[in-house]
A and B are shown apart, each in its own frame.
Chain A
Amino acid sequence: MKGTYLGEFEEIVLLAVGILQDTAYGVGICKEIENQTGRSVNIGAVHTALHRLEEKGFLKSKFGEATEVRGGKRKRIFALTPYGVKALREAQELRNHMWSQLPKIILQRN
């Protein structure tokens, strides 16, 4: 349980990486999250999260092609590892499991 624990932001980053597939690099991920959640995200925070997730083994990365826009610097393209997918799934299951236990009355009242 503890090994695959994901924070809220980490979960969102992982999901964004999954959605973007081959274009999942720092700025792209950052923008995706901003679009999806509507909140402004700091690029530094994304970098930190990406590298921590890679260290934990949820993500893997490789260098992409260099482009003009970035002054010739290569992008690092991130992709989900099977372990990462498993972690996402576990997080979702945990949530579903807990949702199912929520008494109906609470949901109705609000």
Chain B
Amino acid sequence: MQHSPPRLARKLLHWFVNAEFVEEIEGDLEEVFYERLTYQSLFKARLHYFLDVLRAIRPYQPKRKSSPVAHEIVHWIFLKLAFRTLAKRKVFSVINVSGLSVGLVSFLLIMEYVAFERSYDSFHHKGDSIYRVAFNWGETDYKGENSSIYASSVPALGPAVAEAFPEIDAYTRFVPVLTVKPYCVFNVFQKGRLKYTGNADNGFYADSAFLKIFSFPIVAGHTEPLSKPYSIAITQSYAEKIFGTLPYSNILGSSIEVDAQRKEDHVITAIVADPPANSHIHFDYLISYATINSSQLEGNLGWSQFYTYIVSNQVLSDEWMEPRFQGLVEKLYGNDSHIVIFLQPLRQIYLESKLREEVGPSGSSQQLMFLTIIAYTILLMEWINYINMFLARSMERLNEIAVKKVLGSTRSHLVVQFFAESILMNVFSFGLSILLVLLFQHPFENWLGKPVSEVLLTDTPYVATVLSCILAGSIAAGLYPSLLLASRPPVGLLAHKYQSSAQGIFFKKGLLYFQFIMSFILVSSTLIIDKQIEFMKKANLGMELSGCVAIRSPGTVDSTYHDRLEAFKARLLTSPFIKNVCSSSTIPGVRISKSGGVQRVVGPELDGNNVFFLQVDENFLSTYDIRLIAGRNFSDKPSGLPTVILNEAALQTLKFNSPEEALNHRIHWQLKEYVVIGVFANYNHLFLKETFEPIMLSFRPSTPGYLTLKIQEGHTEEALAIAKQQLQSLFPSTPFEYSFLESTYNRQYQPVQQFESLAKYFSLLAITISCLGLFALSYYAVQKRLMEIAVRKVFGARSFDILLLLSKSYLKITVISGVVGSSFTFYLMNEWLQNFAFATALDFFDFLIPFIFITGIVLITISYNCLRTFFINPSHSLKHN
């Protein structure tokens, strides 16, 4: 017969109709079909056949009778068999289980981290309706980039916003205490004796709405602790730091002497719970907003260091905000300002916001995406590997499968048996990996510096998604090889004519390519990241940080401050161990917070004119070894106008063509006039991720901020002892706290370094996993060709020829993966390096070294299996076949 009934319909019939009746029904339907063909078109006949089939599948048709398989599962025979098989092939089982567990452990740890990062600020009850008001001053630098988008805003903004829009229910304003009062020391007296003294840590002046808008619960004390001036609320851990184990009832109502410009007692009105680790706002204490007590505060439109958060009674979209806020800006600042105000939803701040003056460190959604992809890739590679190993191992079991089939095992029997093995292996690995995760939890959290497991259970949908991914993957990885193996005809198996189908080969090769491309990308990326870190560390920063120690500027700023500080500096310089001393408003590695637009008094109107403002004394340049390229340094002799020294970037901002041209020019900055007396070479105030920002040094001999000591090499301890002694004689009751500039500066590299060690770890893992898979595959390939190799040996092939023969195809895979992987890496790493203003250049060796490395590992991995064949006596393998 030429035509036949549609295949799909026949399949349906077989699936859904009781096996007892299927033959007869199919026969009948086919007979009708052929009869119809004599008077109907093929299409109509097929259509009718289809309809007939659908009618034959009736609900009351008895379903398939339960096969004996189900019966035997109940008897656990398959589980027993699986146990025996796994126990018999210990090496394979151990490799498989350990491979699976390693993959799962890394997957779970990464996912824990991702879940933690995603959970930021999820604990606020009003979280979905809280927004931060961010401020774009609209000032661009000389490169045309906007360098003035701030997370912080001005004091007048909160009340103005709440008044203007009925959609906004409430607002809160807060500002870091150390921003308002750079020098601030806490003293606590008990029974007239000094019990505690220390630099004020991390705290805010906050208004009373702060604790109502954010969910930081009050543990003890007043329900509105921040309503009166000179009230302070401290966190539980800060209470412990100051008062030890004193009960809260005794702490409440006692006072802390805050020594900032003048000494004032603050009353402790409440104890607040510590902010959770996944909060982007962290503080040790809160002082009531009214305490700031500055005449400049109310209605101030220029003091841009206040954070403003609002609560809204509806979802505020960009379209809603834009026109309204524009109107508000016009009302506050007039028509011709470039200022733009915008809102940031609270939940997005941690991952998405990258503004100046962020409240705390921020995460990166890009990095989380990268990590998620890596995690799933590892898991996928692990499963692929598992499938490969399973198939490779099944070579040994062909006889077993064939005999079982001949003796009457159905396909489903075999599938169930193999599947039972997979399930056992996966359950075992999962159990093991949970144990390992629990074991590694603590070191992992320490390494990250984040208690990631704390919030794990709050994000249930996410955890459920991750777990169901694991489940689905495990089932698929177990089922695929089972189905593949069980479907082979028994005769072929028995005769050892086991040939993979073209599809199978393609699949396996595809898996190998995937694994090796991934390994290659990871290894070469690690090397490139490493190269960039080395590049940044070795780069000439334009200054010298070694031997520099920074102290926060001491003491209350009063009329005697200047003289005392000068005396302190002079005394320090008499020490043979201290080479130089300078004071500055901030230090390298810490962002400069003061900036604004600059204009020339004579010269062209400037547009992109944002310049950063740093107050220093005359020793700043020499202490840090920053090169002066034109003009002169500051001197004590007062000249008419205040003086400034510019860096090269600021020179560009002001559109001077040469350093000499700028000298003696007058400039306007923030309504004041300055005269340029010198130009210094650009130095990397922040690490090399950031460009050279235009900086303007202004002369202020005893500026509050930091004191930097340049210490003679090898005499750090002596120098610090002298500094401490002198400080305490001149500024009694000032705590002596210092930091080594080189290490604080290098702390900026930490995120990149963490990223690098992650990449390193992953590439190791990827290589291990791919090699396990490769080992299994080469084992399988060699096993298949034992006879061929024996014959070749009999005819005089040398070992080298055979090695070449066996490794040729794998070398091909390595080479192609190398090429593909390099191009991916080149693209990815170029993108990544864009994040750095100063980036290393990629060259050929960045790709050659990983290539040689991976090829070497591949050769070592397969050589075991190849070498094994050399030592088999040819007669032995020939006899066996």
List A residues at the B interface (Cβ < 8 Å).
25-27, 30, 42-45, 47-48, 51, 63, 69-71, 73-76
Contact = CB atoms under 8 A, between A and B. Distances in A.
Contact of A74 (B1, B23, B52, B58): B23
B12 to A, nearest CB: 13
Contacts of A76: 21, 24
Contact of A26 (B1, B28, B34, B55): B28
Interface string B28-56: 11111010000000000000000010011
A72 B56 CA distance: 20
A71 B52 contact: no
Interface of B: 1, 4, 21, 23-32, 34, 52, 55-56, 58, 60-61
B30 to A, nearest CB: 5
B21 A44 contact: no
Given A48-B58, A48-B60, A69-B34, A43 B24 contact: no
A74 B30 contact: no
A75 B24 contact: yes
22 contacts: A26-B25, A27-B28, A42-B55, A43-B55, A44-B58, A47-B28, A47-B56, A48-B58, A48-B60, A70-B27, A70-B28, A70-B31, A71-B1, A71-B27, A71-B30, A73-B24, A74-B23, A74-B24, A74-B27, A75-B27, A75-B28, A76-B24
Contacts of A70: 27-28, 30-31
Given A30-B32, A44-B56, A48-B58, 7 more contacts: A27-B31, A27-B32, A71-B1, A73-B30, A74-B23, A74-B27, A76-B21
B31 A47 contact: no
A48 to B, nearest CB: 6
B181 to A, nearest CB: 91
A41 to B, nearest CB: 11
Contact of A43 (B21, B28, B34): B28
A84 to B, nearest CB: 19
Contacts of B27: 26, 70-71, 73-75
A69 B36 CA distance: 13
B21 A51 contact: yes
A43 B32 contact: yes
Q: Which of B27, B32, B52, B56 gathers most chain A CB within 10 Å?
A: B27
A73 to B, nearest CB: 3
B26 A73 contact: yes
Nearest to A76: B24
B65 to A, nearest CB: 14
B55 A45 contact: yes
A43 B52 contact: yes
A22 to B, nearest CB: 16
Contacts of B25: 26, 47
Contacts of A73: 23-24, 26-27, 30
Q: Which of A42, A69, A70 gathers most chain B CB within 10 Å?
A: A70
Contact of A25 (B26, B28, B52, B55): B28
Nearest to A46: B28
Nearest to B28: A26
A43 B29 contact: yes
Nearest to A72: B27
Contacts of A45: 55
B676 to A, nearest CB: 99
B379 to A, nearest CB: 47
A97 B29 CA distance: 40
A74 B30 CA distance: 11
Nearest to A26: B28
Q: Which of A30, A63, A69, A74 gathers most chain B CB within 10 Å?
A: A69
A24 B31 CA distance: 14
Q: Which 4 A-B pairs have the closest CB atoms?
A: A73-B27, A44-B55, A26-B28, A76-B24
Contacts of A71: 1, 4, 27, 30
A73 B31 CA distance: 10
B5 to A, nearest CB: 9
B33 to A, nearest CB: 10
Nearest to B21: A51
Contacts of A43: 28-29, 32, 52, 55
B61 to A, nearest CB: 8
A25 B24 contact: yes
Contacts of B30: 70-71, 73
Contacts of B24: 25-26, 63, 73-76
Contacts of A75: 24, 27-28
Contacts of B31: 27, 69-70
A76 B26 CA distance: 11
Nearest to A77: B24
A24 to B, nearest CB: 12
B601 to A, nearest CB: 99
A44 B34 contact: no
Contacts of A47: 21, 25, 28, 56
A47 B52 CA distance: 11
A44 B23 contact: no
Contacts of B32: 27, 30, 43
Contacts of B34: 69
A76 B23 CA distance: 9
B230 to A, nearest CB: 91
